[in-house]
């Protein structure tokens, strides 16, 4: 068993976490640990549930038989829960492979909520929340997040605009019209004063003029240009979220979360 914690497997579970608690993993997670990672009794696993930070657990029983789940014993909390910036991604569903990629990257880039929006040019009208959530969970496990983004059911754009949350800055990705260059827009007073923001990207065919006007009628909105080229929607979402995190979000923090190896290396630099 490795004694370097960041090599231990990392799993999201739904149960409450407290010292000494015994947890039985569901079959798919048990199978992953025993048959893919070849974990054995005594091995450590990192566990998080989105509210109680990250814990070290130890595999205490590897029952034989596919139906039975591994038993883990919670040993100690290793990381306190940390809140992350309040960033939503409101995105028109696009072709499956690209949308799956977008979900993965939005999770790595710290989206708190992913809200699929149905616009007049959206070709993919349904989004399978369960499948998207599974992609987000895997990306959260890999990126060492302590939370999972909430994947909301798809909403038609007019309904989203109608129920737009007060005090949430809308950041419209617009490849044409009067959009401001992204760095200028997100360095401005409004962007920096609003801790709650939502980035909006259109479908492969883009937003219509009328849809842009609906979004621009929201109480607080910035229209941003992501350079002179037309980006795929997934590229635009990644670019816009990266710029927001760098200028308004948690990419300004230097501190690594409590990973002694990370801190030790940083101090040597
Ligand atoms: N209308 C485009 C295709 C839309 S691209 C075309 O003529 O082919 C899909 C989405 O990505 C757009 O709705 C917009 O939200 C975003 N996007 C693409 N390029 C962008 C850019 N340069 N600046 C800002 N947003 C962009």
- For residues 175 and 143, give the distance between their C-alpha atoms in angstroms, rounded to a whole number: 30
Does residue 143 sit in the same domain as residue 235? yes
What domain range is 163 assigned to? Answer: 86-252
Q: Does ligand 1 have an atom closer than 6 angstroms to the CB of 246?
A: no
Question: Where does the pLDDT of residue 198 fall: very low under 50, low under 70, confident under 90, or very high at 90 and above?
Answer: very high
Mutating to test ligand 1, I would choose from 231, 237, 244 the residue with most ligand atoms within 8 A of its C-beta, which is 231
- The string of pLDDT tens digits covering residues 46-97 is 999 999 999 999 999 887 766 778 999 999 999 999 999 999 999 999 999 9
E strand residue ranges, 92-203: 113-118, 150-151, 155-156, 169-173, 180-181, 196-201
Does residue 53 sit in the same domain as residue 136? no
Mutating to test ligand 1, I would choose from 181, 215, 236 the residue with most ligand atoms within 8 A of its C-beta, which is 236
8 A C-beta contact, residue 196 and residue 171: no
Does residue 205 sit in the same domain as residue 248? yes
Q: Does ligand 1 have an atom closer than 6 angstroms to the CB of 230?
A: yes
Q: Does ligand 1 have an atom closer than 6 angstroms to the CB of 207?
A: yes
- For residues 12 and 150, give the distance between their C-alpha atoms in angstroms, rounded to a whole number: 14
- The string of pLDDT tens digits covering residues 101-138 is 999 999 999 999 999 999 999 998 777 889 999 999 99
Query: Atom 15 (ligand 1): residue with closest C-alpha?
Result: 201
Does residue 67 sit in the same domain as residue 122? no
Does residue 26 sit in the same domain as residue 128? no
| Ramachandran sector of residue 50 (left: φ over 0; alpha: ψ -120 to 50; beta: rest) | left
**Tokens 């987000």, located at residue:** 136
Ligand 1 atom closest to the CA of 227, numbered from 1: 22
Does residue 34 sit in the same domain as residue 103? no
Question: Which pLDDT belongs to residue 156?
Answer: 97
Distance 230 CA to ligand 1 centre (A): 5
């Amino acid at each position: 068993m490795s004694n370097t914690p960041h090599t231990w497997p990392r799993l999201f579970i739904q149960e409450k976490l407290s010292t000494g608690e015994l947890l039985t993993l569901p079959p798919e997670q048990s199978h992953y640990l025993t048959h893919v990672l070849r974990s054995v009794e005594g091995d450590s696993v990192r566990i998080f549930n989105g509210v109680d930070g990250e814990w070290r657990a130890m595999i205490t029983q590897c029952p034989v038989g596919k139906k039975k789940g591994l038993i883990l014993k919670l040993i100690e909390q290793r990381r306190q829960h940390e809140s992350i910036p309040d960033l939503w991604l409101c995105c028109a569903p696009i072709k499956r492979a690209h949308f799956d990629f977008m979900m993965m990257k939005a999770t790595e880039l710290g989206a708190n909520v992913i809200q699929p929006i149905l616009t007049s040019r959206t070709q993919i009208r349904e989004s399978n929340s369960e499948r998207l959530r599974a992609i987000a969970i895997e990306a959260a496990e890999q990126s060492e997040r302590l939370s999972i983004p909430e994947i909301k059911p798809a909403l038609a754009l007019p309904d989203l605009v109608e129920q737009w949350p007060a005090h949430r800055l809308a950041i419209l990705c617009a490849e044409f019209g009067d959009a401001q260059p992204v760095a200028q827009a997100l360095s401005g007073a409004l962007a920096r004063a609003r801790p709650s923001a939502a980035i909006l990207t259109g479908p492969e065919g883009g937003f219509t003029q009328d849809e842009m006007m609906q979004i621009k009628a929201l109480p607080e909105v910035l229209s941003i240009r992501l350079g002179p080229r037309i980006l795929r929607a997934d590229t635009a979402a990644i670019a816009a979220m990266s710029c927001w995190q760098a200028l308004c979000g948690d990419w300004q923090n230097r501190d690594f979360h409590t990973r002694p190896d990370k801190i030790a290396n940083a101090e040597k630099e």
